[in-house]
Chains A and B, each alone.
Chain A
Amino acid sequence: MATLLPSSFTKNFNSSIDYPITSFQTFAIFGPKLKTEQTHFRLSTSFNVRTGSPLELKAMKEPPGLTQKLDKNRLDRLAESENGCDLFEDLKHRFLRFKKHKFEENLGHFQNLAEGQAPKFMIIACADSRVCPSVILGFQPGEAFMVRNVANLVPPFESGPSETNAALEFAVNSLKVENILVIGHSRCGGIRALMSMQDEVDSSFIRSWVIVGKNARLNTKSAASHLGFDQQCRHCEKESVDHSLVNLLTYPWIEQKVAKGELSVHGGYYDFVDCTFEKWTLDYKGSNFGKNSRLPVKNRFYWC
């Protein structure tokens, strides 16, 4: 499955942890000396230091025939590396800004966090780049244990182990979070894929995953078939959140805690077209929690 990496690369990786963050060094692991056929890592750092071999290669007009392909690859990478430099520099500066304005200014808090986390929330949100809960709900480091997947879906207990329920198990049984919030959002590509699925066999990964939300699609088709496709998708985005809340209660250790009042389960919907946020809480009374009954909710808020 995985390529076993030679130990020399591990050593190079590890040695960097001794370096203070403001003085990176360049490891040019690649170079004409590397003749072996293997994958390798390049430690990307400050690009002021560019020694030796790659520049010499550039100066050679007619490289020896046997290594011609090798040189062309090197030149192509050099051309790309200018953009690559900007990318790495940008990431480096972003981290340094975080370190200066947040980490160092709240050092005591971050030192406490380093000892352990005690978040009050577990969030299940979509991987969509526009809906990070740290941004839209302002969760700070330490506040929210977060799972992000395509279309913020929660598979039921009977579907077996997955990344989402591994995270649920950790958050609920180890971290003992008090709240689970599933957040759906507008114009969700995953929900659109779910609603667009045809009956014929589609071998994509996306289909294999979003099928978790098939009951939400069924409910939508029966309740909202008179609406246009976009409106149906919107209906399904919210229906799918409710469906995920129902799936949460298929986990016995979640249902037990909800029944005891130790854990609250909430649904949310972020509309980034109008910038509104809706939130509702599952009103658990222990009875009539079948698939066909309407989800009992309380404390529904709409913020705009």
Chain B
Amino acid sequence: MGSLEEAIEGLKKFLSDKDDAAVAQIKKLITGLQERDPNEYDPVKRILEGFQHFKINKFDKHPKLYDKLAEGQWPKFLVFACSDSRVCPSHILDFQPGEAFMVRNIANMVPAFDKLKYSGVGAAIEYAVSVLEVQNILVIGHSRCGGIERLMTHPEDNSAPFDFIDEWVKIGLPAKVKVQAEFGDLPLEDQCKHCEKQSVKLSLCNLETYPYVQMGLANKKLRLMGGYYDFVHGKFELLEFEPHFHHLFST
């Protein structure tokens, strides 16, 4: 018998020999328990089960790895991914503990260098590149991105502004402008898809505005990559961004 049923049965035993007020109260409690959905989502139970599963199946099974990770981290990747619940790179690219320093924000955006406005992103890049010395930066966009959709539809749709979201997604404005210029005749859904990809390219360009990224690229110690996860069709694309000059001539 489940704990819920036990509780109800226990309360029923009290009904026979109590006064009216107590009986009413007990009946109310029983009704409340009976109406409770046994499948009701219990957030605490959810994270406890998740943690126990991790501890038993991963942490305890790989003591050497986790002992080493307790002393430090040496990730090869800095990853920018969207906060969307469906696109965690630990799932889609199977990143294990220690492999990827991971920033997640709305629409996986990297703004250009600005110490006042975007210190959060800057801190992550500075830490990953200068302190952890990651070798690769990977920006991953995805299909049906709510942030990109907001960028593409607002303010033209006259919807009420979202103070913080709108301020953030406007980092992607150059991508929106380019997509509208080239693909403005396509349906919105297709324009959004183009913008999801164009925004990744924009973010890669913006990465170049960070001095430590510039140095890493110049010293060939850093590579920049863009990814696109399409969860509608189960596809992944990857491309490398190689900003450099071709020497044409000197006299």
Report A's interface with B, CB cutoff 8 A.
Answer: 1-5, 7, 9-10, 13-14, 16-17, 21, 30, 34-37, 39-45, 66-67, 69-70, 73, 76-77, 80, 84, 87-88, 91-92, 94-95, 97-99, 102-104, 110, 113-114, 117, 119-121, 127-132, 134-150, 153, 161-171, 173-174, 178-179, 181, 186-187, 189-190, 203-206, 208-210, 264, 266, 268, 272-273, 275, 277, 279, 281, 299, 301, 303
Contact = CB atoms under 8 A, between A and B. Distances in A.
Given A17-B237, A104-B234, A163 B47 contact: no
Given A66-B249, A94-B94, A275-B55, 19 more contacts: A2-B175, A10-B197, A13-B239, A41-B201, A42-B240, A44-B240, A69-B247, A91-B227, A98-B91, A119-B85, A128-B73, A130-B97, A132-B102, A137-B47, A150-B124, A161-B164, A164-B105, A169-B162, A174-B146
Contact of B231 (A110, A149, A275): A110
Contacts of B198: 10
A91 B93 contact: yes
23 contacts: A7-B182, A30-B242, A73-B244, A94-B94, A113-B231, A117-B84, A127-B124, A127-B128, A130-B69, A134-B91, A139-B88, A141-B86, A141-B91, A143-B85, A148-B102, A163-B106, A164-B105, A189-B131, A209-B119, A209-B120, A210-B123, A275-B66, A299-B44
B14 interface: no
A138 B43 contact: no
A137 to B, nearest CB: 4
Given A87-B136, A138-B54, A205-B119, A145 B85 contact: yes
Nearest to A143: B85
Given A136-B54, A145-B83, A166 B168 contact: yes
B105 A147 contact: yes
A276 to B, nearest CB: 9
B1 interface: no
Contacts of A98: 91-94
A163 B105 contact: yes
B202 interface: yes
B50 A179 contact: no
Nearest to B103: A127
A138 B51 contact: yes
A237 to B, nearest CB: 14
Considering the complex of A and B, which 6 residue pairs feature the smallest CB-CB distances, nearest first? A138-B50, A205-B122, A209-B123, A166-B168, A208-B119, A161-B167
Interface in B20-65: 41, 43-44, 46-55, 58-60
Interface string B107-128: 0010010011011111111111
Nearest to B107: A166
A77 B240 CA distance: 13
A203 B212 CA distance: 14
Interface string B206-235: 100100000000001001011100111111
A95 B93 contact: yes
B155 interface: no
Interface string B122-147: 11111110010000100000011011
A277 to B, nearest CB: 5
B122 A169 contact: no
A165 B164 contact: yes
A129 B174 contact: no
Nearest to A165: B164
Contacts of B91: 98, 102, 134, 140-141
Contact of A37 (B118, B143, B147, B246): B246
Contacts of B163: 161, 169
Given A88-B238, A132-B95, A163-B168, A1 B174 contact: yes
A44 B90 CA distance: 21
A77 to B, nearest CB: 8
B152 interface: no
Contacts of B115: 203, 205, 208
Nearest to A4: B178
Which of B51, B109, B146 has the most chain A CB atoms closer than 10 A to its own CB? B51
Contact of A141 (B55, B85, B122): B85
Which of B48, B54, B100, B234 has the most chain A CB atoms closer than 10 A to its own CB? B234
Contacts of A73: 244
A149 B37 CA distance: 36
A272 B66 contact: yes
Given A132-B95, A277-B51, A5 B162 contact: no
Nearest to B84: A117
Which of B120, B128, B220 has the most chain A CB atoms closer than 10 A to its own CB? B120
Contacts of A164: 105, 120
